[in-house]
């Protein structure tokens, strides 16, 4: 019988703890901390995410039941509901945001060679935002509507591996397009966005930074056609044009030429009009790339279903952001484990399910995840791409 380390401890070995200490020192996280450190807080919250705990009392009860094993997983302080609540309330959430960014950089390197469905050498991002509803009486700082509270999760998703390369958490009133001001465009990369990000001044800044964009146009966009290029209408294309904007404001905001591609989806019986500053790739690739934008929608759906980011353990802004960033860290950690252990036959969902019931077992992690014979259920999705398809 294997009598080695606990599964939870083996899982935490994939974390770069030297980077965690650097993030900790940057914000003086353990200043005047006696017993319950920031690492204890992170491990307790990671346990809550992996085991689907419902509340702080739930976390306390489960961890105290494993009191004799906590030292072996790295939790040195005494776990209690009040101590964990105080830590979530007062420990700077930027510690965990910076650490999540470190994990994101590691994961992006691991998934940099993955295929996402379109043969393209450039890095392709999908940008979107999702709203997380909150009770206004419990979260008065997150005012969204007159009687409704919310926070908004802005995400720039790298389609190679579905790794979020940029995340911003704002209140629900912040418009989606304003997050473009916080992005640092990568020259040569492709940014795919829906119509909510159609701001020609900001798109021109992307163009000046030598980044490419693909975005759906609005019906009231004023333009004049300069050239039309040959297309194959049998594959759904309707036009491939070079245009200039003629609106009173838009022609000043974006004074250069833009490419306009129109595509007809026979299955949905809908027409889509795309704008882009990329004049090199074939027009059908423009339509295929925009279709891949749905991955970011599936990312939001996945994390809301399988991570604890819809119900929160604290009501302060710091506690909410701390929980979301640790949830993102857990998501990235599982993605790193999947790649490093070469678990190509398992989805992230399956790995999470196995880990949720075996965290305090003494089984080698690789053996646990490769001898489970757990079937992956491929659900049929009529008009959606598959997230994390192996």
Provide the H-helix boundaries in the chain. 7-12, 17-26, 38-51, 56-65, 67-73, 81-90, 94-110, 200-208, 250-253, 283-291, 294-306, 317-340, 348-356, 365-370
Q: Going by C-beta distance under 8 Å and a sequence separation of 6 or more, which residues neighbour residue 282?
A: none
pTM of the entire structure? Answer: 0.90
Identify the three-state secondary structure at position 110: helix
Instruction: Extract the residue ranges of the chain whose pLDDT is less than 70.
Output: 1-3, 372-390
pLDDT at 372: 56
Residue 51 CA to residue 106 CA, distance in Å, equals 24
Q: Going by C-beta distance under 8 Å and a sequence separation of 6 or more, which residues neighbour residue 382?
A: none
- Tally of CB atoms within 10 A around 83: 18
The closest of 268, 190, 283, 192 to 229, measured between CA atoms, is 283
Enter the CATH code of domain 122-297.
3.90.350.10
pLDDT at 116: 86
| Cα→Cα distances 342→114, 158, 160, 186, 256, Å | 13, 20, 16, 29, 46
pLDDT at 1: 44
| Cα→Cα distances 121→116, 188, 278, 297, 388, Å | 11, 10, 14, 23, 20
pLDDT at 390: 42
Which tokens sit at 146? 């007159």
How many residues are recorded in the chain?
Answer: 390
Q: Going by C-beta distance under 8 Å and a sequence separation of 6 or more, which residues neighbour residue 376?
A: 345, 346, 347, 350, 390
Residue 309 CA to residue 303 CA, distance in Å, equals 8
Residue 37 CA to residue 202 CA, distance in Å, equals 42
pLDDT at 207: 96
Q: In angstroms, how far is the first alpha carbon of the chain from the final one? A: 33
pLDDT at 246: 94
The closest of 218, 245, 216, 260 to 128, measured between CA atoms, is 216
Per-domain residue ranges for the chain?
A: 122-297
Q: Going by C-beta distance under 8 Å and a sequence separation of 6 or more, which residues neighbour residue 73?
A: 6, 8, 9, 12, 43, 360
Average pLDDT, the chain: 91
The closest of 338, 360, 335, 353 to 50, measured between CA atoms, is 353
**258-265 contacts, C-beta under 8 A, 24 or more apart:** 258/223, 259/286, 260/217, 260/223, 260/225, 261/237, 261/286, 261/287, 262/237, 262/238, 263/236, 263/237, 263/238, 263/287, 264/236, 264/237, 264/238, 265/236
Q: Going by C-beta distance under 8 Å and a sequence separation of 6 or more, which residues neighbour residue 142?
A: 134, 136, 149, 150, 151, 171, 172, 317, 320
pLDDT at 222: 94
Nearest-5° Cα angle at 193, 242 to 141:
145
E strands, 174-236, in order: 190-193, 212-216, 223-228
The closest of 384, 354, 352 to 371, measured between CA atoms, is 354
Which tokens sit at 260? 């306009």
């Amino acid at each position: 019988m294997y009598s080695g380390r606990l599964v939870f401890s083996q899982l935490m070995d994939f974390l770069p703890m030297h980077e965690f200490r650097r993030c900790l020192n940057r914000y003086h996280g353990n200043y005047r901390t006696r017993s319950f450190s920031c690492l204890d807080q992170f491990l307790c919250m990671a346990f809550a995410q992996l085991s689907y705990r419902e509340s702080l009392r739930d976390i306390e009860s489960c961890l105290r039941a494993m009191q004799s094993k906590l030292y072996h997983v790295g939790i040195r302080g005494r776990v209690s509901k009040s101590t964990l609540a105080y830590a979530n309330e007062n420990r700077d959430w930027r510690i965990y945001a910076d650490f999540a960014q470190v994990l994101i950089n590691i994961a992006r390197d691991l998934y940099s060679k993955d295929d996402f469905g379109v043969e393209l050498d450039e890095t392709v991002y999908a940008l979107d935002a999702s709203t997380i509803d909150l009770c206004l009486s419990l979260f008065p700082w997150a005012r969204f509507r007159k009687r409704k509270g919310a926070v908004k999760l802005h995400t720039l998703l790298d389609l190679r591996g579905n790794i979020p390369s940029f995340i911003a958490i704002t209140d629900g009133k912040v418009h989606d397009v304003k997050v473009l001001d916080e992005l640092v465009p990568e020259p040569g990369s492709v940014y795919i966005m829906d119509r909510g990000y159609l701001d020609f001044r900001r798109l021109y800044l992307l163009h000046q930074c030598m980044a490419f964009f693909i975005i759906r146009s609005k019906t009231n966009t004023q333009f004049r056609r300069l050239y039309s290029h040959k297309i194959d209408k049998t594959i759904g294309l309707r036009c491939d044009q070079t245009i200039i904007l003629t609106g009173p404001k838009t022609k000043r905001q974006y004074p250069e030429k833009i490419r306009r591609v129109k595509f007809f989806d026979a299955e949905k019986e809908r027409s889509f009009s795309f704008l882009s500053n990329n004049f090199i790739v074939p027009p059908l690739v423009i339509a295929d790339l925009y279709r891949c934008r749905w991955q970011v929608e599936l990312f939001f759906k996945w994390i809301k279903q399988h991570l604890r980011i819809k119900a929160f353990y604290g009501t302060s802004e710091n506690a909410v952001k701390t929980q979301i960033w640790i949830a993102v860290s857990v998501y990235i950690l599982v993605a790193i484990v999947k790649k490093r252990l070469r678990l190509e036959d398992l989805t992230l969902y399956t790995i999470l399910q196995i880990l949720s019931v075996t965290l305090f077992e003494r089984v080698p992690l690789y053996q646990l995840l490769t001898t489970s014979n757990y079937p992956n259920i491929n659900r049929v999705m009529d008009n959606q791409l598959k997230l994390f398809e192996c």
